[in-house]
């Protein structure tokens, strides 16, 4: 019934004439290319699909037939009408399931869970769950992930400020730098875990600030690599954009105490010091992929 109702409801509006024409075409389907034993009795097939329906046969409405004085089209039309009436429940359910609502300007913007739920409700939904803390209190997985992400960022930034101070004094060792990098990676992992429980957690200001700083650091690192490798004449470009605008024939790229190139109008160029970002000493290279081994799971 559902399939036939779909045929008779183009655009969601019931069309008994359309369904009648489709039924007549189906019942009169040309099967001359099949052996007689392989031909389908379409009337019997439809009656098996539609219990309680009697499908009219054209021969009964031809001259000499049982209903020769009646209209074959009207008989099929009556069947189509009954099919659409029986399909009203299906169409109502379909319309309810497929009902969509478009957001309007007056709707409130979606907010991260940490702002829309109180402390006792954060994360307690079907796809979240809860853990038991050491004190025996219930702690939502979202709440735990939120606290862990903030904690890891704070720890990494704290160590980053110490490393930045040591870097300016020329006392930053490789082991200390690697330790800082590992702490920032742990902060990234904690943020990724938080996003598993709240897809829009990145809209929080602390989250955006953290990744904005890391994005800026990655851009500086990319520029530094291009300067060191002399990619696309980046050295000449940077030298030409300096305040004096003088392009030297054999430019000596000046770097700040961090080992990063001075960018035009940057804080390093204006103040003669490196940016006060704790992420500077622990800048991490962007990940690279080996195309020969990459697969869909890598992306």
Query: What residues does each domain of the chain span?
Result: 2-97, 130-288
| pLDDT score at 207 | 94
| pLDDT score at 284 | 66
| pLDDT score at 182 | 92
50-107: pLDDT as tens digits: 888 888 888 888 888 888 888 989 998 998 888 888 888 877 777 777 666 677 778 7
Residue 153 reports pLDDT greater than 90: yes
| pLDDT score at 115 | 84
> Which contacts qualify for 46-54: CB closer than 8 Å, 24 or more apart?
49/1, 50/1, 50/83, 53/79, 53/82, 53/83
Tell me the average pLDDT of the chain: 74
Return the closest-CA partner of residue 220 out of 269, 185, 148.
269
DSSP state, residue 66? T
Instruction: Please give the C-alpha separations between residue 115 and each of 109, 123, 146, 211, in angstroms, as whole numbers.
Output: 12, 11, 12, 19
Residues 145, 116: Cα–Cα separation, whole Å: 16
pTM: 0.48
| pLDDT score at 191 | 94
Structure tokens at 162: 């110490």
Partners of residue 131 on adjacent β-strands: 139
Output Rg (C-alpha) for the chain, integer angstroms: 36
Return the closest-CA partner of residue 197 out of 268, 146, 270.
146
Residue 292 reports pLDDT greater than 80: no
Residue 46 reports pLDDT greater than 50: yes
Is residue 269 classed as helix, strand or coil in its secondary structure? helix
DSSP state, residue 21? H
- Of 80-89, 142-151, 261-270, the least confident: 261-270
| pLDDT score at 11 | 54
| 67: Cα separation from own chain's centroid | 61
């Amino acid at each position: 019934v559902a399939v036939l109702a779909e045929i008779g409801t183009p655009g969601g509006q019931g069309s008994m004439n359309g369904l009648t024409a489709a039924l007549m075409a189906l019942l009169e389907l040309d099967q001359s290319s099949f052996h007689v034993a392989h031909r389908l009795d379409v009337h019997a097939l439809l009656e098996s699909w539609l219990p309680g329906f009697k499908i009219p046969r054209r021969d009964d409405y031809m001259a000499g037939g049982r209903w020769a004085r009646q209209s074959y089209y009207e008989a099929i039309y009556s069947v189509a009408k009954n099919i659409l009436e029986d399909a009203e429940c299906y169409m109502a359910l379909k319309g309810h399931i497929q009902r969509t609502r478009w957001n309007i300007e007056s709707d409130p913007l979606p907010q991260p869970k940490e702002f829309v739920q109180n402390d006792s409700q954060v994360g307690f939904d079907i796809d979240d769950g809860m853990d038991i803390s050491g004190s025996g209190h219930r702690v939502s997985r979202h709440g735990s992930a939120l606290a862990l992400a903030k904690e890891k960022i704070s720890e990494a930034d704290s160590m980053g400020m110490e490393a930045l101070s040591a870097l300016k004094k020329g006392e930053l060792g490789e082991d200390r730098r690697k330790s800082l990098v590992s702490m920032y990676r742990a902060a990234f992992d904690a943020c990724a875990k938080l996003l598993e429980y709240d897809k829009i957690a990145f809209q929080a200001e602390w989250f955006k600030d953290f990744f904005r700083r890391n994005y800026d650091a990655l851009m500086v690192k990319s520029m530094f690599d291009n300067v060191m490798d002399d990619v696309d004449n980046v050295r000449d470009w940077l030298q030409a954009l300096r305040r004096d605008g003088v392009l030297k024939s054999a430019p000596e790229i000046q770097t700040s105490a961090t080992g990063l190139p001075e960018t035009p109008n940057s804080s390093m160029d204006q103040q003669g010091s490196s940016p006060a970002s704790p992420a500077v000493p622990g800048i991490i290279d962007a990940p690279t992929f080996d195309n020969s081994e990459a697969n869909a799971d890598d992306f």
